[in-house]
Structure 1
């Protein structure tokens, strides 16, 4: 199984995908151990079918991912001569499709209230303000904000250069005056003394690099602090601020390729999902409902 996970990495699978494969294969391993199967060469049809039948109490999305991981692993076992027969035919195709959901967005006024709620009179507030700004003004993902290093900030050109953790794509973003001043304020009066290359560190000891879940909690805290309504029923992490930036750019009639470049998407397909939140423009596409006495509705009861 470890060899298969290493193989998946060589095939270009992301760290998240490999970790998910690891989780699902661990469940397979537990099943095989409980059924006293000590070698993969001992696997037969009945083992696979019994394992699949035991997935019924999982969610549809989990079953879909489990079957996909199982199919890929069985193919690997066969192609490497560990299994005599290719048992992938036993794994049913899943008809599950992820339901499309509208991205969570906040208005320009709500973002303004969010930023105003951060107390910048202390080191932690100075740090939090910069991180929230990077998500709200530049649309950076939490992973890229937490991984931002001194070398990524190019003061001589007023730009930020980085390779996105998720897409591995290089992006160049403008170092807005507001963002640059906030970074300087944090570095001079807020950041603990440390030789670590990362801009953002924990506010208390040990002064390690800040992790993504912490940033999510930070954004969530200030959204509540700002008194923004109904956040319990909305996403309230840094990714929601990224979505909000896309919505604000759409309101300004920014072309889709430009928004795609700002968000660091590999192509405009990933950006098209934000078209669904541009309600003003969508209203222009709405058609009038025809009267019932038109020929179109003849014979309709």
Structure 2
């Protein structure tokens, strides 16, 4: 058997995970769907004479019984929750816990590593890293150190290369870029611990180089954006919220992280301004409130937004009506409206994202002849060289430059 944190027969493993998710506050409805998938998994294990859960068994269930790619995305609710059920089981077996999405600061690093972890995070804050980056560092450290503790390594004195390598093996199957982020965070943490005398020797982790895809970014045309917006039913509270969110992405090219974190205090209707600090860059950004955006926001705030004490503009429309969790992409919402409007991109498994709205705005501005410097200001880029990447979106000019293919 592999060196799992929770090495139990599958039936017992599922029972322990179920109890853990209940303690984490997973809703009864979510648990009902997860349990349905686990029952199917237990039937498959019984049929094949398997006592213990394994990644191979779980992935076989997904691929052969549900036609689900374990590393795929954009599935409808049933396939999505079935895939999630297998991944949760694998995560709990490997690490002994579930790193449920939480607000920043709630990942509590285990006691034996906590002191160094807090000092390390303080050192990162001093480097002015973006809040989202800091959140990811804390999450990666939480998962790694929790894994160590669940394998009997309670502090740095007991830490060794063997347990680190076992942890790295559990990352197999994740995307190369995600593994690179994990190893980078863990490597910096261990170097920090060694530099400050918490370890006698330095631990060397493999460096993973990720080359970004340089293809032309996908985006919606102005007509497609119009179709998506017109497909949102504004006759109900949820539609009013979603329309305002999509409009902010379409008219300003705002990142979804800035949309979901928008505060009531950042809306200035008297002076017709939206003033935010961007989540990704930490840079301030001030925008004029366009007429259609203003009316959409007013309609939602007056006629759709739940009346609760919360400074966030956009709220989850299920009790207790709180702000969105950090990292929420709202991809499922946009995808629903895009597909309903008959808008998708060939060859991308009908992928939809708010960032495609950002590319759409950039494409429109480029084709209108707006300078890259102006576009950089509108999109809130930290540097002009970031905006130059959007020059790839000038599709008409790219077509004009196309060479004739020899016969």
Answer whether TM exceeds 0.5 for this pair.
Answer: yes
Gaps of 5+ in 2: 1-112
| Deviates further, 91-100 or 248-257 | 91-100
| Deviates further, 134-143 or 121-130 | 121-130
Q: How many residues align?
A: 288
- Please say if 1:84 is aligned against 2:200: yes
- Residue 281 of structure 2, aligned match among 147, 160, 167: 167
Which residue is 2:378 aligned to?
A: 262
Distance across 1 between alignment mates of 2:300 and 2:264: 13
| Deviates further, 62-71 or 250-259 | 62-71
Alpha-carbon deviations, 1:103-133, whole Å to 9, x = none? Answer: 2201111111111111222222222211111
TM-superposed CA distance for 1:64, in Å, is: 2.5
Distance across 1 between alignment mates of 2:128 and 2:231: 42
Which residue is 1:219 aligned to?
A: 334
TM-superposed CA distance for 1:192, in Å, is: 3.0
Does the aligned pair in 1 maintain the 2:183–2:206 contact within 8 Å? yes
Distance across 1 between alignment mates of 2:305 and 2:155: 53
Does the aligned pair in 2 maintain the 1:55–1:63 contact within 8 Å? no
TM-superposed CA distance for 1:177, in Å, is: 1.0
Which residue is 1:188 aligned to?
A: 302
Gaps of 5+ in 1: 292-301
Larger radius of gyration, structure 1 or 2?
A: 1
- Residue 231 of structure 2, aligned match among 117, 125, 150: 117
Return closer, same or farther for 1:280/1:60 CA change in 2, 3 Å cut-off.
Answer: same
Distance across 2 between alignment mates of 1:29 and 1:202: 32
| Deviates further, 132-141 or 96-105 | 96-105
Distance across 2 between alignment mates of 1:24 and 1:150: 32
Distance across 1 between alignment mates of 2:147 and 2:269: 55
- Residue 198 of structure 1, aligned match among 312, 324, 346: 312
Matched residue SS, 2:271: coil
Matched residue SS, 1:213: coil
- Please say if 1:152 is aligned against 2:269: no
Alpha-carbon deviations, 1:126-166, whole Å to 9, x = none? Answer: 22211111111111122222222232222233221111122
Distance across 2 between alignment mates of 1:53 and 1:170: 38
TM-superposed CA distance for 1:256, in Å, is: 0.7
Return closer, same or farther for 1:29/1:200 CA change in 2, 3 Å cut-off.
Answer: closer
TM-superposed CA distance for 1:80, in Å, is: 0.5
Does the aligned pair in 2 maintain the 1:61–1:98 contact within 8 Å? no
Higher relative contact order (CA 8 A, sep 6+): 1
TM-superposed CA distance for 1:33, in Å, is: 4.7
Alpha-carbon deviations, 1:55-86, whole Å to 9, x = none? Answer: 6834433443333223212221121111234x
RMSD: 3.0
